């Protein structure tokens, strides 16, 4: 929730014809605004799909989350949605026994803006991982 009372969330399905999920804002007066539609298809093969977990918000209004599928290796991504609605993929997970994990399922953020999460697949023994991502500042100082 932001200072104006707007709520932010995801849908694991939907998004018009794409049906790969959305990130949305729900205003304090009940008006919904879709910030991003995840897309399936050859021309967008690097986009994540199925963002079934909550998003976290930084002080600049950027939203961060994970998708359980999609990305370069079809094993999920960590994404950023700017306050203007632009998507940036921060990390694409590997599939198989890659050390970074596969199929992430949520994030938390510390006071410095580092993102922490878990992945229920991949890792050394293919039993999942705990990961950390330090996003680059949107406005370098």
Examine residue 94 and state whether it is found in any structural domain, yes or no: yes
49-107 tens-digit pLDDT: 889 899 999 999 999 999 999 888 889 999 999 988 899 999 999 876 678 899 999 99
6, 55, 70, 77, 103 from 87: Cα distances, Å: 20, 13, 14, 12, 19
Domain that holds residue 63: 7-133
**Rounded distance between C-alpha atoms, residue 53 and residue 13, angstroms:** 12
Residue 1 domain-assigned (yes or no): no
Q: Is residue 103 part of a domain?
A: yes
How many domains in the chain?
1
Could you report how far apart the first and last alpha carbons of the chain are, in Å?
A: 26
pLDDT in tens, 111-141: 999 999 999 988 888 888 999 999 775 544 4
């Amino acid at each position: 929730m932001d200072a104006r009372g707007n709520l932010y969330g995801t849908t694991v399905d939907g998004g018009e014809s794409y049906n790969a999920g959305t990130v949305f804002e729900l205003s304090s007066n009940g008006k919904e605004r879709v910030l991003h539609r995840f897309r399936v298809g050859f021309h967008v093969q690097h986009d994540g799909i199925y963002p079934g977990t909550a998003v976290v918000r930084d002080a600049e209004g950027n939203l961060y989350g994970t998708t359980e599928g999609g990305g370069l290796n079809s094993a999920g991504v960590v994404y950023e949605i700017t306050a203007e609605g632009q998507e940036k993929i921060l990390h694409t997970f590997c599939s198989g026994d890659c050390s970074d994990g596969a199929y992430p399922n949520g994030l938390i953020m510390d006071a410095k803006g580092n993102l922490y999460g878990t992945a229920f697949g991949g890792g050394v023994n293919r039993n999942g991982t705990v990961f950390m991502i330090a996003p680059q500042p949107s406005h370098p100082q």
